[in-house]
C-alpha cells in the first residue's frame, strides 16, 4: 500500500471538518429564510383580506344609500323602520 503525504490527509480532513462545522449554521439560516418567507405571505394575505372587507363595507354602504334614495314618502320610511325593528 502506498503511503500518502500527511499534508494531503490533513488538507482533506480540514475541508471535511469545515463542511461539518458549517452545517448547523446553514440549516439554521434555511429555517430563518423559510420563516421570513411564510411571515411575508401571511402579511400579504392579511392585507388582501382587509382590502376585501373594505370593498364589502363600501358595497353595503352604497346599497343602503341607494335604498334610502329610492324611498318615495315618509310613510314608506316608517313602514320599513317597523319591519326592521325586532
| Alpha carbons 78 and 68: distance in angstroms, whole number | 12
pLDDT band at 72 (very low <50, low <70, confident <90, very high): confident
Q: What is the value of pTM for the model shown?
A: 0.54
Q: What span, in angstroms and rounded, lies between the C-alpha atoms of 33 and 22? A: 17
Phi, psi of 20, rounded to the nearest 5 degrees: -65, -35
Model pLDDT for residues 16-38, shown as the tens digit of each residue: 777 777 788 889 999 999 999 99
Amino acid at each position: 500500500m502506498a503511503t500518502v503525504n500527511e499534508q494531503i490527509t490533513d488538507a482533506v480532513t480540514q475541508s471535511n471538518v469545515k463542511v461539518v462545522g458549517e452545517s448547523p449554521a446553514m440549516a439554521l439560516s434555511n429555517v430563518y429564510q423559510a420563516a421570513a418567507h411564510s411571515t411575508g405571505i401571511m402579511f400579504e394575505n392579511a392585507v388582501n383580506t382587509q382590502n376585501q372587507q373594505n370593498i364589502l363595507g363600501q358595497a353595503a354602504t352604497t346599497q343602503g344609500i341607494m335604498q334610502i334614495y329610492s324611498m318615495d314618502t315618509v310613510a314608506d320610511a316608517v313602514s320599513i323602520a317597523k319591519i326592521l325593528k325586532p
